[in-house]
Amino acid sequence: MLDCGDPKKMGSIWFRCLSCRHFHTFAMTCKSTFSLSCTKPYTDKLVNFIGGRLISDIIYRHSVLTVSDFFRIYF
């Protein structure tokens, strides 16, 4: 997880481009949910799915509710 995306530690793949004829290196990744760089595509896909299915026509409003000083001792 800590070495994710480091070609020296995780390895890499070389591809040769047919149009420019140069070799390009792509680093291997761990594909784990513990690595932040690997889990971001999965998180983005999940957010888009939930946002499209559950909250399609709702405008999101952020509000902060507070409790008066009198009630804070009970909560």
Which pLDDT tens digit goes with each residue over 41-70? 888 888 888 777 776 666 767 788 888 888
Q: Among residues of the chain, what percentage have pLDDT more than 70?
A: 91
When pLDDT is averaged across residues 13-20 and rounded to a whole number, the result is 86
CA distances (Å), origin 65, targets 68, 72, 73 = 10, 13, 16
- How far apart CA 43 and CA 46 sit, in angstroms, is 5
On whether the pTM is more than 0.75, the answer is no
Q: Among residues of the chain, what percentage have pLDDT more than 90?
A: 0
